[in-house]
Amino acid sequence: MKKIQFFVYMGFGLIMASMVYSYFSTFNEPGMSFATVLLALVTLAFWSMVMIISFWWSIIAIPSIQENHPALTQKFPKFFNNFILPIIIVILLLIAGQANVYMMNVQGKNLGFMIEDQFSEAKSAGIFNREKWIEVKAKQDESIKLADKQATAATLEKNNKDYIESKINSLDKSSGKYLVAENIYKQHGVWVDDYIAVQKKSCSREFNRLLAANAASEQAIEYWNETSDSLTRSGVSPFAGGRSPTTDPDIQRTSNDIRFARSQLENCGIAHLNEIEHRVTVQTDN
């Protein structure tokens, strides 16, 4: 038990020592004022107490220290033990953490950050300029959206490929449909039945209408995102006043157009709209 006490608290003490040492750089950061310095000192004081207690409790676990320096153990209150001490340390850390949160909130406001979480993330990235952080954050969000979009597209592409190849392989290789299906798949990457269905005069107009609705929907969503970014930069929540993509009239209108065109195409016998969009071009007779 004594060995565990020594290694656990010595390790924790070293971690706290590293945190205390690195925290001193906070006093030289932009946006510091009398209030933030005071709160930073409170945080530093409580962390230092945790560090000292951890080192002390680790050292007195050494048998030779207890025998040769009994005064070290006598200076601790009697209720200090391996059950109560962790609770005390947690309380001290919670107080220090709350003081640090208040400090960062004030520091962020001094630097012009309107949203508390914004400055916390910016500070973690070493950025103290609001405009620069907005630019960096926008690039990060765009990268995440692009990565998600690419991952979704890759998954759909694989599922589509597996589905069509399984359908083609199930056909008789000596049949005409096999040759047609294989040729259409090589040229357009779609299943032959869907390709034939979308080329029907009754379906071609609806298919082009669906493509137009998709393009309009992308523009409406892009405009909504641009407006949201502008509101965020001005310190206003993009959802203020009940604003939401689900209530935006342009997004709702284009969504309704997409749903209607899809329902019409399903009546034409097209079963895999997600797979044929942006793959097949049809001509509409006037």
pLDDT in tens, 5-25: 888 989 999 999 999 999 999
Give the pLDDT score at 91: 95
Give the pLDDT score at 163: 79
Give the pLDDT score at 286: 40
8 A C-beta contact, residue 86 and residue 53 = no
> Region 75-89: what's the mean pLDDT?
78
Give the pLDDT score at 284: 43
> Region 27-40: what's the mean pLDDT?
92
Distance, in Å, from the CA atom of 138 to the CA atom of 220, rounded to the nearest integer, reads 19
Distance, in Å, from the CA atom of 47 to the CA atom of 89, rounded to the nearest integer, reads 9
Q: Which residue has the higher pLDDT, 57 or 41?
A: 41
Distance, in Å, from the CA atom of 119 to the CA atom of 130, rounded to the nearest integer, reads 8
> Which residue has 């009940």 as its token pair?
242
Question: Which residues, including other chains, have CB under 8 Å from residue 80's CB and lie 6 or more apart?
Answer: 57, 88
8 A C-beta contact, residue 18 and residue 25 = no
Give the pLDDT score at 14: 95
Highest mean pLDDT among 49-53, 64-68, 247-251, 273-277: 49-53
Distance, in Å, from the CA atom of 272 to the CA atom of 266, rounded to the nearest integer, reads 9
Distance, in Å, from the CA atom of 101 to the CA atom of 32, rounded to the nearest integer, reads 14
What's the token pair of residue 248?
A: 């935006």
Distance, in Å, from the CA atom of 233 to the CA atom of 275, rounded to the nearest integer, reads 38
8 A C-beta contact, residue 41 and residue 93 = no
8 A C-beta contact, residue 51 and residue 20 = yes
Distance, in Å, from the CA atom of 195 to the CA atom of 181, rounded to the nearest integer, reads 9
Judged against a pLDDT cut of 70, whether residue 164 lies above it is answered with yes
Phi-psi region of 31 (alpha: psi -120 to 50; beta: other; left: phi over 0): left
Contacts 24+ apart (CB under 8 A), 98-105: 99/39, 99/40, 99/42, 99/43, 99/46, 100/39, 100/40, 100/43, 102/39, 103/26, 103/36, 103/39, 103/40, 103/43
Distance, in Å, from the CA atom of 9 to the CA atom of 58, rounded to the nearest integer, reads 5
Judged against a pLDDT cut of 70, whether residue 283 lies above it is answered with no
Judged against a pLDDT cut of 70, whether residue 100 lies above it is answered with yes
Distances (CA, A) of 168 to 270, 272, 277: 17, 15, 20
Judged against a pLDDT cut of 60, whether residue 279 lies above it is answered with no
